Amino acid sequence: MIATISIALAAGFAAALMFASITSGAAISLLLINLAPLPLMVVGLVWGPLSAAVGGIAATVVIAALFGLPYCIAFALVNVLPAWWLAHLVLLARQRGGVAAAGPNEELEWYPVGRILIWILIFATIITAATLMMMGTDAAAIQSTIRKGWVELLETTGLALNDSTLDTLVVMAPMGAEMAAMAMLTLNLWLAAKIAATSGRLHRPWPDLKSIALPAVTIAALFAAVVCCFAGGLLAILAQVLTAGLSIVYAMTGFAVLHTLTLAMKSRALWLGCAYAVVAGFAWALLAVALLGVADAVFGLRQRYLRSRPPPLPKP
């Protein structure tokens, strides 16, 4: 018990130090502050969510002592709460088929990865919305603050942009913040799970990521968010944020569809490599992958493909 508490406290201090590194002004601090939840997630996956909570509380106290209450609340919301809850969900399981006795991992039904993605979306949306509300309580104030930030950044870098380009950046900024929050939370959880699995202490089997499926209500939420994007005002900004987050979620399922539909290809690695290269080089390609994920949710592309595949030949 003492060793576990010591490890949890060490992880908490590491997370607090990574968060505090932003005060150094070094370029590496931008990476460290985004990876601040990683130590807490690793501890949560290996030693349990309670350890992540202990480490998170210790880290929050350190941040409060160093920077005050506002930064303490921000640290807890952005790093501690997602790390604790996501670690809890990853290790959440129930007996399959109502079996009373505890059995091996194969008899357990683990919390679906698709629902974990939805929770990541929820955290990212809360973080982004809270950040926007700190800028103002209405759309005009938020956009004015974002515009001022872009102008100051452009003056620092010496770049000059016309008003139309600046207006586009102001509109895209909240959606970009949501996508960045989604990407960093997902990356932190994936890295933590990989570290735990490599150490042999991940207490659940590695999931088949090709079979990721989102809850059916997600497609309705996407439709409602897209409609609200045209409402105007603060509601439209928040709807655009949610739409951006849902697009990332469906892009992840879109990649799962690509990995499934290319199973029978001899040059599968080449095709997948080209697909990832195109997405990395052209941002609009991510939208195409997201639409593929939406098409799979509506038409069941993966299920149709797997049903149409011939059964494997018997081994000689």
For residue 272, the enclosing domain spans 111-309
Same domain as 84, residue 188: no
| H/E segment holding residue 29 | helix 28-34
Does some domain include residue 97? no
Q: pLDDT tens track of the chain, all 316 residues? A: 788 899 999 999 999 999 998 888 788 888 889 999 999 999 999 999 999 999 999 999 999 999 988 889 999 999 999 999 999 999 998 887 654 434 444 578 899 999 999 999 999 999 999 999 888 888 889 989 998 888 888 777 777 777 788 888 888 999 999 999 999 999 999 999 999 999 989 989 999 888 899 998 999 999 999 999 998 889 999 999 999 999 999 999 999 999 998 888 888 889 999 999 998 888 888 999 999 999 999 998 888 888 876 555 444 4
Domain boundary at 26, 60, 92, which?
Answer: 92
CA dist., res. 100 & res. 98, Å (int): 6
CA dist., res. 161 & res. 164, Å (int): 8
Distances (CA, A) of 210 to 111, 263, 264: 16, 10, 14
Same domain as 223, residue 185: yes
Position 155 scores a pLDDT of 77
Spatial contact of 149 and 157, defined as CB atoms under 8 Å apart? no
Domain boundary at 31, 65, 92, which?
Answer: 92
Task: State the total domains in the chain.
Answer: 2
Same domain as 122, residue 86: no
Same domain as 24, residue 82: yes
Domain boundary at 40, 57, 92, which?
Answer: 92
How many beta carbons lie within 10 A of that of residue 67, not counting itself?
A: 16
Same domain as 7, residue 154: no
Question: What are the structure tokens assigned to 65, written together?
Answer: 């002592």
Amino acid at 12: G
Same domain as 163, residue 301: yes
Same domain as 270, residue 140: yes
Does some domain include residue 316? no
Q: What is the DSSP string of 249-295?
A: HHHHHHHHHHHHHTTT-TTHHHHHHHHHHHHHH-THHHHHHHHHHHH
Please provide residue 110's backbone torsions phi and psi, each rounded to the nearest 5 degrees: -85, 155
Does some domain include residue 117? yes
Same domain as 25, residue 155: no
- Counting every residue written for the chain, the total comes to 316
**In sequence order, which ranges of 159-261 are alpha helices (DSSP H)?**
163-198, 217-228, 233-261
Same domain as 127, residue 80: no
Distances (CA, A) of 196 to 37, 122, 193, 254, 298: 15, 24, 5, 26, 35
Does some domain include residue 123? yes
Does some domain include residue 105? no
Same domain as 302, residue 224: yes
Amino acid at 215: P
Does some domain include residue 125? yes
Same domain as 124, residue 266: yes
Does some domain include residue 315? no
Same domain as 176, residue 81: no
pTM for this entry: 0.90
Does some domain include residue 102? no
